[in-house]
Chains A and B, each alone.
Chain A
Amino acid sequence: MAAVMPAPAQSRLLMSGNEAVARAVWESGVKVAAAYPGTPATEMLEVISTYPDLYSEWSVNEKTSLEVAFGAAMAGSRAFCAMKHVGLNVASDALMTLTLTGVAGGLVIAVADDVGLSSSQNEQDSRFWGRFAHVPVLEPADSQEAYEYTKLAYALSERFQTVVILRMTTRICHVKALVTVGERVAHVGAGFQKDPARWVMVPGAAQKRIPLMFQREAELRAEAEVSALNFVEAGSDRRVGFVTSGPAYMHVKEAFPEAPVLKLGLSYPAPFEKIRAFAATVDNCVVVEEVEPLLETELKAQGIRLAGKDLLPRSGELSPPVLKPAVGRLLGEAVAEPEQKPARAVAPLPVFPRPPTMCVACPHLGVYYTLSQLRNITISGDIGCYTLGFGHPWNALDACISMGASMGMALGLDKGRGESDKDKKIVAVIGDSTFLHMGMQGLLDIVYNKGNVTVLLLDNRAVGMTGGQDNPGNGRDIHGEEAPRVDFAKLVKALGVKDERVHVVNPYELPTLFKTLRDETKIPEPSVIITNQPCVLIQDYHKLKPFTVIDDKCTGCGNCLDTGCPAIHVTKRDSVVKPSGKTVDLAFVRIESSVCTGCGLCVQPCAPDAIVHADKVIQIKALQRH
């Protein structure tokens, strides 16, 4: 992919927080940027990869991305890595030691918290990592601040020789707002300076760094007291003053335009004296933070009288309609529910749910269809599009917690069998990128400890769920350029899976898939079934001729609906009473030919052979007319 010329300085651009951070990273003269894709952080590296003059990569996981960035910072260059909140859990092992070594060149970790759970397995507050690792946390409130704070983070990082956490949330990452951009400033790294006492963290060396870390933290707290990032906006209505940070600041300003506000941009270490002085100027002080009562607890421990999560929700996004009644109650006001502005609220109208689905012709459809046809099976799942297999019509996923955990959980399910599941077949399902991210170790553990687990490695040659990013499984790098491609069959064999227990199967060939899966789950040793068809949203996928349903032939059996393909629609429902007296529901279908890609999955379970290529039908009809 050719690098695009960045917009000139002083341009006013509509940018998401992620785009604004990317621009600031480029302007800051960063040399190395790395990430593993994860919503809502993904676009930071996607955009950075389009800027010239810096190295960018998709790493195999967040820990690796931080290690790569740290290496560059050790060499004196400016470095950047980005991750979603759960990614920092993965990277935390590296983080907890870099807090001791510190950095030479500036190192910023942008962490995107999924406040409100738009697409994550948990909601966690990454500001805790600042306390845990004793490193500063900057919290922008919108795109312009995301841009400015990123640049300030590099200055802070180099001044205090520490990694800096830039704490983002969904409503910064994915809000587009106007940003005035600046110019790129070259930053020349000094190169790596050997200093084993600093860079080699064996116990003796690490022990000497701990006091330095606490000294740095104290200096940063003093900095927070005077930093322009922590400022007071005076207000005329002093009944309530707010201490706030991040997007919560915007909600406070909109809900209470007349109230005094202390906004914390450098929120950790918190400026206790500044906050104490502010609290003394208002009748009531309220801490408004997403999501945990983190600052609130610290401030209460300082003896500062204030309110917080006793008024406000403990999870999810804050907003003016949430804040107004809560603060109204504090003031003893009669609170109109919800807020006063609309003359009368409209109750939500009842509508069916519309959960996310797998795409038309997705290669995972065949896998989950097959899994749903097997009996006496426990399925341990993982993070990715194929997690959707838990939903209708497949209902074929029994567990899922974190990236790469499917195989470890499967081994545990195997070793921990009870009487009721002693004959259960244990299957672990994992995607290609997820396997490379954290899965390999789990498979090694299964092999090493002789687990009775069948692993389905769904290689669709993309990080599908985040938008089809490249990875070592598809032979392309972040710029779409050719890169070495891992051979999954060889890889799993290298981890110790026997040659004859490794199968590569086309997931659109249902009978083969079914037979392989049935056979391998019977054999009490580790096996790996690799599926080999690309994600339908990436360039490797090639459409075939679309299918259609011959109405006269469709018997309404509904077997095709069990594949879960969203291109199949019901035209008519009916029910018949069989000679046995049993009532059978019928669903007659049509295929939306304009979106069908001709994968042929639905053709295979169709009992009456009613599904045929669309152009054939057109030909037949044309012949009949003449």
Chain B
Amino acid sequence: MSDNITNILVVGVGGQGVMTATEILAEAAIALGHDVKKTEVAGMAQRGGVVSSHLRFGPKVLSPQIAPGSADILLAFEAAEGMRWRHMMRPDALALINTGNLAPPVVELGLFEYPADPVGEMRKSGARVFAFDASAIANGLGDIRLGNTVMLGAIADHLPFSAEALERCVLQRFARKGEKVIEMNRQAFAAGRAAAAEAQRTQDVREAVSA
């Protein structure tokens, strides 16, 4: 984390809950006494377009935008979107990636190709990547909309504050929605955390072998 500022870039496709997830991360940072700025390009975002949400926190935050090459963590809700924003990361920064693919109509129409191996491309560029299918985990728990809680669980052990602090903020969001919804989110958070840990273990083995 540079200059005592933590830069987290959350990316995905309009409708995936990218902005909500970033807002929860921001709430957690505020609860721990940080100054926070959060921004995104919204506008047409909900129409299936590219969404990127910038979160910066630390003792005092000035510019709201993360400069290219200075994101500490990239949280990508969609694999190709992870690739799209790779240049925003510090060269060796951590990327947490949902491998669940969402192809846009221009790909379905055959005008462009979806990359064959987005995660592999990112690793080739030097990024440390923990990848797993968060969409499948969310579907398995009964609701695709749990995907952003799964992703928040995944990032939980890589923040300059405790996973429990983030989990509290996640569950706070659903406080009024009843015990069942809270419990589903608790499970989604835990599943995301476990998936990231497993992805890290696999990656560590991979790195050890290649070293």
Contact = CB atoms under 8 A, between A and B. Distances in A.
Interface of A: 12, 14, 39-40, 116, 118-119, 142, 170-171, 174-178, 247, 250-251, 253-255, 317, 319-321, 338-339, 341-349, 351-359, 385, 388, 392-393, 465, 467, 537, 561, 564, 566, 568-570, 573, 585, 587, 594
Nearest to B22: A176
Given A14-B38, A175-B37, A319-B63, A354 B13 contact: yes
Given A345-B68, A346-B125, A561-B109, 7 more contacts: A177-B35, A349-B122, A349-B125, A353-B104, A358-B47, A569-B103, A569-B108
Q: Which of A177, A250, A319, A343 has the most CB of B within 10 A?
A: A177
B62 interface: yes
A177 B36 contact: yes
Nearest to B106: A392
Interface string B104-116: 1111111111110
A352 B64 contact: no
Given A175-B39, A176-B26, A177-B64, A351 B125 contact: no
Q: Which 4 A/B pairs are nearest by Cβ-Cβ distance?
A: A119-B43, A352-B112, A356-B49, A342-B69
A573 B13 CA distance: 25
Given A392-B106, A594-B144, A354 B49 contact: yes
Interface in B19-60: 23, 26-27, 30, 35-50
Contact of A178 (B14, B30, B62, B125): B30
B187 interface: no
Contacts of A344: 91
B207 to A, nearest CB: 19
A34 B200 CA distance: 52
Contacts of A175: 37-39, 64
B87 A346 contact: yes
A351 B84 CA distance: 6
Contacts of A348: 84, 86-87
Nearest to A116: B41
28 contacts: A39-B44, A118-B43, A118-B44, A174-B41, A176-B37, A250-B62, A254-B62, A339-B67, A341-B70, A342-B69, A344-B91, A345-B69, A348-B87, A349-B83, A349-B84, A349-B86, A349-B122, A355-B104, A355-B106, A356-B14, A356-B44, A357-B104, A359-B48, A385-B47, A467-B46, A561-B105, A569-B108, A587-B110
A400 to B, nearest CB: 14
B196 to A, nearest CB: 22
A142 B56 CA distance: 14
A355 B63 CA distance: 27
Interface in B98-153: 103-115, 121-122, 125-127, 144
Given A14-B26, A176-B36, A346 B47 contact: no
A339 B69 CA distance: 9
B193 interface: no
Nearest to B64: A175
B115 A351 contact: yes
A566 B80 contact: no
Q: Give the size category of B's interface with A.
A: 35 or more
B2 interface: yes
Interface string B67-89: 11110000000001101101101
Contacts of B80: 351-352, 354
The B contact surface, by secondary structure, is mixed
B47 A357 contact: yes
Nearest to A12: B30
Contacts of A346: 69, 86-87, 89, 91, 125-127
Contacts of A250: 62-64
B182 interface: no
Nearest to A249: B62
A317 B41 CA distance: 12
B203 interface: no
Contacts of A39: 42-44
B108 A568 contact: yes
Contacts of B44: 39, 118-119, 356, 465
A247 B63 CA distance: 8
Nearest to B86: A349
Contacts of B2: 341
A570 B45 contact: no
B61 interface: yes
B51 to A, nearest CB: 10
Contacts of B121: 349
Contacts of B107: 352
A465 B69 CA distance: 32
A40 B42 contact: yes
A31 B194 CA distance: 53
A254 B63 contact: yes
A254 B58 CA distance: 13
Contacts of B63: 247, 250-251, 253-255, 319-320
A343 B90 CA distance: 8
B211 to A, nearest CB: 20
Contacts of A568: 108
Nearest to B122: A349
Among A40, A352, A465, residue most surrounded by chain B Cβ atoms (within 10 Å): A352
A177 B37 contact: yes
Nearest to A257: B62
B108 A352 contact: no
Nearest to A141: B62
B48 to A, nearest CB: 4
Nearest to B30: A14
A393 B61 CA distance: 43
B20 to A, nearest CB: 12
A72 B60 CA distance: 40
